[in-house]
Amino acid sequence: MTPPLIYNLFPRLVGPTSRWPEHAARAAAMGFDWLYVNPWHYPGFSGSLYAIKDYRRLNPLFVPQGADPESLEPLRDALWKIRDGRMKPVMDLVVNHTSKDSPLIRQHPEWYRWGDDGQVRSPFVRDPDDPSKITVWGDLADIDNEPPAGHEEQWAFWAEIVRESVELGFRGFRCDAAYKVPAALWRHLIEAAKSVDPSVVFFAETLGAPVEDVAALAGAGFDYFFNSSKWWNFSEPWALKQHEDFRAIAPSIAFPESHDTPRLAAETNGDEAVQRQRYAFAAAFSAGVMMPIGYEFGFRAQVDVVRTMPTDWERRWMDLRGFIARVNALKKAHPVLHGEGVLRAPRGIYEDTLVLERRASDAPAAARGWILVNKVWAEPREVRLAGIAPEALAPGYRLFRVCRDGAPQTGEPVRDTVSLGRAEVAYVLPELTATESAPATPAAPATPPPVLDE
């Protein structure tokens, strides 16, 4: 199965739907095949993308000039142009809350959770490190998807929204806060989507959820989960344990940053080596990889679901399009990088360099490769494979310097000592057989949209 390579188009940064296809073309040129778009729906009073007021109307910020603001045809047109460009659109599916001024509250009060004061409740979260710290989203109304009455009508409403979205042109759904929604409802919605198009894919967002809540979704029918490897410092055991615990539930998607996190370039003062390191690692860690818009140019301003506008498009701090295209081409071409895989660290995880063995499965004869990571951002390091992974020195393996511009896409011979530049990631992968595809030569980068310094 082809690994999902996802580019996140944050619509507040891009603007009208008429601009979306050009950004999708840039993503396709880098080898991405899925385009994830955050909520496009009409928002409530706060303007937040995730405070949806009307599920059947386009956000005014995304209506092209001169288009009918009541029509979804501009969205449909953009989605079909994106699909013509070899990209599959994914949308956020938010069914655990609406905006607090949604007409659904008046029409179906039984669908919501209510407080003793007679007001609809807002969702909240406690800080796991300090339970006394509570974040309340006051612009949101908390939905009860298991009400004592009205269950059938409520679930039918969500199912119709899903079917309509597939008919618009979406081919995947990122399910927001999936662990807060009953697995039975997800099964119902997945069945509804696949009744229109059996190839539709569902991605569960469960970041920060307890293991037992994620495990409860095992039978819901999700195709992928998102994992937390973005926060791994390569020296603590939790990431490998999470990978092992969750791989039996569904394969996962890694990312170097997301729309919910600070920009990596801002955290590292624009360190391009680290920018390359975290993408190359995410691409090899699990079944799929996701990257937000602007990562390829080293954008530093975190996107905001309420305030970001197209005028926040930044100058190009770096240009990683060629590098990203190389990594994506290798991931697509090499079967050992497909699927969730089985990971182990033959030397442990506490030294300056990390060597991860990646097996395609638990089978003794499963294909395997190795991910080599220099954890040190400031200095080069060396890895002696003979004492860690002697099998990597056997005939039939190649070393891929994915982070280095100009390195051969077909790899180079594997030697006992591998010198890694600062923050460098390299792969040791099996040579491709005659029946397997060779890595495609990355396409010339698409012309980027105008930036403020040009």
Closest CA relative to residue 319, chosen from 405, 201, 384, 410: 405
The answer on pLDDT for 454 being more than 70 is no
Instruction: For residue 51, give both structure tokens.
Output: 């405070």
The answer to whether 428 and 372 are in contact (CB under 8 A) is yes
The answer on pLDDT for 445 being more than 50 is no
The residue-averaged pLDDT of 371-379 equals 97
Gap between the Cα atoms of 164 and 264, Å rounded? 36
Return the HEC string of the chain.
CCCCEEEEECHHHHCCHHHHHHHHHHHHHCCCCEEEECCCEEECCCCCCCCEEEEEEECHHHCCCCCCCCCCHHHHHHHHHHHHCCCEEEEEECCCEEECCCHHHHHCHHHECECCCCCECCCEEEECCEEEEEEECCCEEEECCCCCCCHHHHHHHHHHHHHHHHHHCCCEEEECCHHHCCHHHHHHHHHHHHHHCCCCEEEECCCCCCHHHHHCCCCCCCCEEECCHHHCCCCCCHHHHHHHHHCCCCCEEECCCCCCCCCHHHHCCCCHHHHHHHHHHHHHHCCEEEEECCHHHCCCCCCCCCCCCHHHCCCCCCCCHHHHHHHHHHHHHCHHHCCCCEEECCCCCCCCEEEEEEECCCCCCCCEEEEEEECCCCCCEEEEHHHCCHHHHCCCEEEECCCCCCCCCCCEECCCEEEECCCCEEEEEECCCCCCCCCCCCCCCCCCCCCCCC
- Under CATH, which number does the domain 343-430 receive? 2.60.40
Which residues are bridge partners to 224 per DSSP?
A: 203
In the chain, the percentage of residues whose pLDDT exceeds 70 is 93
Gap between the Cα atoms of 272 and 317, Å rounded? 9
Q: Sign of dihedral through CA atoms 276, 281, 283, 284?
A: positive
Whole-number average pLDDT of the chain? 93
Closest CA relative to residue 62, chosen from 46, 45, 79: 79
Burial of 401 (0-12, 13-18, 19+ CB in 10 A): buried
Amino acid (1-letter code) at residue 363:
A
In the chain, the percentage of residues whose pLDDT exceeds 90 is 85
Confidence of residue 208 (pLDDT cuts 50, 70, 90): confident
Which residue shows structure tokens 């396409």? 443
Instruction: For residue 429, give both structure tokens.
Output: 């992968």
Amino acid (1-letter code) at residue 45:
F
The residue-averaged pLDDT of 66-74 equals 97
The residue-averaged pLDDT of 386-415 equals 95
Q: Which pLDDT belongs to residue 451? A: 43
CATH of 5-115+144-337 given 3.20.20.60, 2.60.40.3950, 3.20.20.80, 3.40.605.10: 3.20.20.80
Q: Which pLDDT belongs to residue 192? A: 98
Domain borders along the chain are 5-115+144-337, 343-430
Gap between the Cα atoms of 337 and 329, Å rounded? 11
Q: Which pLDDT belongs to residue 124? A: 81
The answer to whether 397 and 428 are in contact (CB under 8 A) is yes
Confidence of residue 178 (pLDDT cuts 50, 70, 90): very high
Q: Which pLDDT belongs to residue 125? A: 75
The residue-averaged pLDDT of 82-98 equals 97
- What is the rounded end-to-end Cα distance, in angstroms, of the chain? 41
Confidence of residue 136 (pLDDT cuts 50, 70, 90): confident
Instruction: For residue 142, give both structure tokens.
Output: 């908390």
Query: pLDDT (tens digit, 9 = 90+) per residue, 298-352?
Result: 999 999 999 999 999 999 999 999 999 999 999 999 999 999 999 999 999 999 9
Residue 173: which residues within 8 A CB-CB, separation 6 or more?
90, 91, 92, 93, 162, 165, 193, 200, 201, 202, 203
Residue 67: which residues within 8 A CB-CB, separation 6 or more?
73, 74
